[in-house]
């Protein structure tokens, strides 16, 4: 949101090295650049995350076992309970 809103609210009063945003008479150029940059970043992060996670899934388990999920991760992973309101005896 901040990146896109920069294209709307940017002003030379705050930073003289940029052009004004749409609401300060700068036209659509800065907003277009900010939207395209944000879109590119979202696509890039999605692709890179997929490229990293898929090979890692082959090497190491990413999910815990069903038993660990049912027991609760605090107890299964750390051997302690953080939520004392949960009744573990009824499971």
Contacting residues for 64 by C-beta, under 8 A, at least 6 apart: 73, 76, 77
Half-sphere exposure of 32 (CA within 13 A, CB side): 4
> What does pTM read for this prediction?
0.66
**In tens digits, what is the pLDDT along the chain, a chain of 91 residues?**
999 999 999 999 898 888 999 999 989 999 999 999 999 999 999 999 999 999 999 999 888 889 988 888 888 888 887 766 666 565 5
pLDDT of residue 75: 84
Domain boundary assignment for the chain: 2-78
Round to whole Å and give the CA distance between 43 and 35: 12
Per-position b or e across 68-85, b if 16+ CB within 10 A of its CB: eeeebeeeeeeeeeeeee
């Amino acid at each position: 949101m901040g990146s896109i809103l920069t294209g709307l609210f940017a002003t030379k009063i705050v930073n003289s090295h940029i052009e004004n945003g749409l609401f300060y008479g700068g036209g659509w150029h800065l907003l277009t650049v900010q939207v395209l940059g944000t879109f590119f970043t979202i696509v890039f992060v999605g692709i890179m995350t997929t490229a990293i996670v898929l090979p890692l899934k082959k090497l190491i388990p990413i999910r815990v076992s069903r038993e660990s999920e049912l027991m609760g991760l605090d107890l299964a992973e750390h051997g302690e309970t953080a939520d004392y309101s949960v009744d573990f005896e009824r499971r």
